[in-house]
A and B are shown apart, each in its own frame.
Chain A
Amino acid sequence: MIVEKQENRTTGRRVGVYVCHCGLNIARTVDCRKVAEAVAEMEDVAVARDIPYACSEPGQHSIKEDIAEHRLDRIVVASCSPRLHEPTFRQMVQSAGLNPYLLEMANLREHCSWVHMNEPEEATRKAVDLTRMAVARVRNLVPLEPEVLPLTKRTLVIGGGVAGIQAALDLADNGYDVVLVEKKPSVGGTMAKLDKTFPTMDCSI
């Protein structure tokens, strides 16, 4: 099946875009206002703003207010690496009543302002692209729910040396059943063969 892309398709989504200054970390190099303005023109973008610190308490609060006021149904945060703050912002959109997977981040700091410090114009151009790409992606995201599966509260420990013994005892003392499998006739492993052991110089068993 071949689906031709319809140019400029409208999806009826209401996307909110937040371009973060990260103090001066991003704003010193990237013209954040300009990025927000460029993205505001995209289809489906209901709100686009630049914002001093998206991750801060007031920053998150203002985004949540927007979500309510402008009936936003998905969010783009153009700030730092998602490897850092994706969990933060997922939690934020979730607490505003949206599915946490309806969030996309554009990495304007690690992948842009910090690595193109001497080329502010090019960096801003790249920042616009990265943020537009994030909008393109967020438009297509769908809510996802984790699946809940039953689990057996029991652990198999393979090997009865000092490591296996300790793991088994810690688990058992915490109320978990353990099956400890040792191939020799006794547990103890290498340690059982030692007399005194460093650093305490006392006996091992």
Chain B
Amino acid sequence: MTDVGRHPRIKLLTLSEVVDVKGYVGNFDVKILKKSRYVSENECTACGECAKVCPVVRPDEFNFGLSSRKAIYSPFPQAVPSAYVINVNECLGHNPVVCAKCVEVCDKGCINFHMSDEEITERVGTIVVATGMEPYDPTELDEYGYTRFENVLTSLEFERLVNAGGPTRGRLVRPTDRRTPGSIGFIQCVGSRSARKGASYCSNVCCMNTVKSTLVLKEHYPDMDVKVFYIDIRAFGKGFEDLYTRSRRLGVKYIRGLPGTVEERADAGLRVAVENSATNSIEFHDLDMLVLAVGVKPSAATQRLQEMLGLQLTPDGFFLEAHPKLQPVDAATRGIFYAGCAEGPKDIKDSVTQASAAAARAIRLMHRGEILTEPITSEVIAEHCRACGKCAEVCPYNAITVDTKKKTPAVVNTAACAGCGTCAAECPFGAITMNHFTDVQILDQIDTLLEEDPQDKILAFACNWCSYAGADYAGVSRLQYPPNVRLIRTMCSGRVDESFIRHGFARRAPIILVSGCHIGDCHYIHANHWTEKRVARFRKKMEKLGIRPERLQLEWISAAEGTRFSSIMHRLEELRKEVSLEEIEETVRILENGAGVRRDSPGSE
């Protein structure tokens, strides 16, 4: 920890928060608000004379109010930076100056009430998001009596009580009578693995944290009666099972079942009612003290940062990685990486591993000192652009700027463009060329596949990341399906232009499939929302024109869903058989009357 404070290459900004981020990979402009400490970070030697004279006494939040501190204080003994800090809202000397006792005793003159908050701007090439977690607040789970009974603590409060640097110097005492308890119980999965309250996921660390706590207790108080109430113990990591068996061997009692109620007894002890699912009986346990193994929740800042940086979250509220298996520390937005609990609940070892990985990924991107952008990006043909602003509206990466008032043509920032092709598909004036996936390139593929016996074939668009990969997976799994489908690969389903679909039907395709990643899994943030809208819009048009909308299908297929891909192919083949030659010819007639003609966008050659 201390290394961070003195490393010449690390600029440490505490009491600080990122308030704005502009720019793209390689060059982000970051605005940081640094709140005033009122004590000079460089001058303060942490002698503590100031705190001795400060008259304001407040509960110490670091110890969850289990001890007290002054209005000028050190956050905790090993804090980095070690400088003291003043909580201005509590301080009497700040404004107007009525106290200033601390200023008088500080020989070095570190304390200055006139320091003000600073706004700092920094330019960086990459960003690592490591905002960590928040412990679950068990107030809402009132059956455990956390708010009602003083001897019910959370696991983090318990940590402070057994900590040598904590309020009791490591001696475990009950809050009510300050005596060491003779018996203690731990309740697992508090705020985790519940569909009812808290979160549905497993918080990953609380089982092992409890096992650890039981070992610490048994070491110091071998005779203490220690019980653990649990659903199942998850000791999956290296060396974990060993600790668990050691805990059992030392006499810790593991009782399978989560308590239904907790009551307080006259001696401030607790009576726990539990259905023991190993013995199928209702049991009552009298304990002096109870610890709730609280779960891990996403940090409070998560949503704000998500919006500021254009990131995605999982349904659980943690940051979503670019690929859960193969890019576990990359954000989908290039140049941003995740480390630690920000990405999901995990222990220290995994947090550190991920942090080193994130650093390596960032270095991999930066070491050349310049950034090569994949040339598969979009380009605006300025002559054709009417500055309608549609492209800027749909781009998931805010990579396009267009001044709709002044009517200046759209401009693509190629460093930010990820190459989904949504803008090219949505531009009403054909003013955008999608490099490597131009209209001509795709329309010629359609023409070729429908040149002979088109009535036998299914034209399918598949995105590179999910549905095309799902088809690959069907192949790897040797899942057999009808041989009539022909896939056209685009990077994203968002690239599939209405004109491609129209052209396919005009060229006698009986069935057309548009496929991509599931909603929420899109490799291009939310580009597939536009696919969904577009397909729905086109189906409405088909209905109006008298073409059966079922002939246009939309499916979401993930990279792991080979089986799903194969079963969809079977279903499409059934649909195809229902399309008669007459129906196909009728469609051609309908489209010839209207806009059945191939319309290459001007820039696509």
A residues apposed to B, CB below 8 Å: 1-5, 81-83, 101, 107, 109-112, 114-119, 122-123, 125-126, 129-130, 132-133, 135-137, 139-142, 144-172, 174-199, 201, 203-205
CB within 8 Å of A: which B412-459 residues: 414-415, 430, 435-436, 438, 440-445, 447-449, 451, 457
Look across to chain A and name the residue whose beta carbon is closest to the beta carbon of B160. A193
- Could you say which of A111, A142, A158, A171 contacts B363, with CB atoms under 8 Å apart? A171
| Chain A residues closer than 8 Å to B293, beta-carbon distance | none
Look across to chain A and name the residue whose beta carbon is closest to the beta carbon of B125. A152
Which of A82, A146, A157 counts the most chain B CB atoms within 10 A?
A157
Q: A115-B483, A186-B76 are in contact. List 19 more A-B contacts (CB 8 A).
A: A110-B476, A115-B480, A118-B480, A129-B449, A136-B447, A148-B373, A149-B27, A162-B348, A168-B4, A168-B128, A178-B9, A179-B13, A185-B79, A190-B341, A193-B156, A194-B159, A195-B216, A198-B240, A198-B243
What 0/1 readout, one digit per residue, does chain B (238-261) give for beta carbons within 8 Å of chain A? 111001000000000000000000
CA A169 to CA B362, docked complex, whole Å: 13
| Chain A residues closer than 8 Å to B237, beta-carbon distance | 199
CA A183 to CA B13, docked complex, whole Å: 8
| Chain A residues closer than 8 Å to B266, beta-carbon distance | none
CA A68 to CA B327, docked complex, whole Å: 39
Instruction: Please determine whether A151 and B486 come into contact, CB atoms closer than 8 angstroms.
Output: no
* B369 interface residue per 8 A CB criterion: yes
| Chain B residues closer than 8 Å to A199, beta-carbon distance | 208, 237-240, 243, 349
- Could you say which of B127, B347, B359 contacts A170, with CB atoms under 8 Å apart? B359
B51 to chain A, nearest CB (A): 14
Look across to chain A and name the residue whose beta carbon is closest to the beta carbon of B474. A115
* B291 interface residue per 8 A CB criterion: no
CB-CB under 8 A for A180 and B480, given A109-B475, A193-B159: no
| Chain A residues closer than 8 Å to B563, beta-carbon distance | none
- Could you say which of A123, A146, A159, A203 contacts B483, with CB atoms under 8 Å apart? A123
Look across to chain A and name the residue whose beta carbon is closest to the beta carbon of B468. A83
- Could you say which of A81, A83, A172, A181 contacts B32, with CB atoms under 8 Å apart? A181
Which of B3, B18, B131, B349 counts the most chain A CB atoms within 10 A?
B131
B170 to chain A, nearest CB (A): 7
Instruction: Please determine whether B359 and A160 come into contact, CB atoms closer than 8 angstroms.
Output: no
B251 to chain A, nearest CB (A): 18
| Chain B residues closer than 8 Å to A193, beta-carbon distance | 62, 156, 159-160, 163
Instruction: Please determine whether B75 and A180 come into contact, CB atoms closer than 8 angstroms.
Output: no
CA A161 to CA B366, docked complex, whole Å: 24
CA A139 to CA B471, docked complex, whole Å: 25
| Chain A residues closer than 8 Å to B447, beta-carbon distance | 5, 136
Look across to chain A and name the residue whose beta carbon is closest to the beta carbon of B464. A83
| Chain A residues closer than 8 Å to B487, beta-carbon distance | 107, 111
Look across to chain A and name the residue whose beta carbon is closest to the beta carbon of B329. A167
B residues apposed to A, CB below 8 Å: 1, 3-5, 7-18, 26-28, 30, 32, 37, 62, 75-76, 78-81, 85, 122-133, 135, 156, 159-160, 162-164, 166, 170, 208-209, 211-212, 215-216, 237-240, 243, 299, 301, 305, 337, 339-342, 347-349, 351-352, 354-356, 358-360, 362-363, 365-366, 368-376, 414-415, 430, 435-436, 438, 440-445, 447-449, 451, 457, 464, 468-469, 471-472, 474-476, 478-481, 483-484, 486-489, 566, 597-602, 605
CB-CB under 8 A for A115 and B475, given A1-B602, A147-B372: yes
CA A193 to CA B348, docked complex, whole Å: 13
B188 to chain A, nearest CB (A): 15
A91 to chain B, nearest CB (A): 15
- Can you give 18 contacting A-B residue pairs, CB < 8 Å? A1-B602, A2-B598, A3-B605, A139-B444, A144-B376, A144-B435, A149-B27, A151-B365, A153-B369, A155-B124, A155-B126, A155-B128, A156-B122, A156-B126, A159-B130, A159-B340, A161-B132, A172-B10
Instruction: Please determine whether B472 and A111 come into contact, CB atoms closer than 8 angstroms.
Output: yes
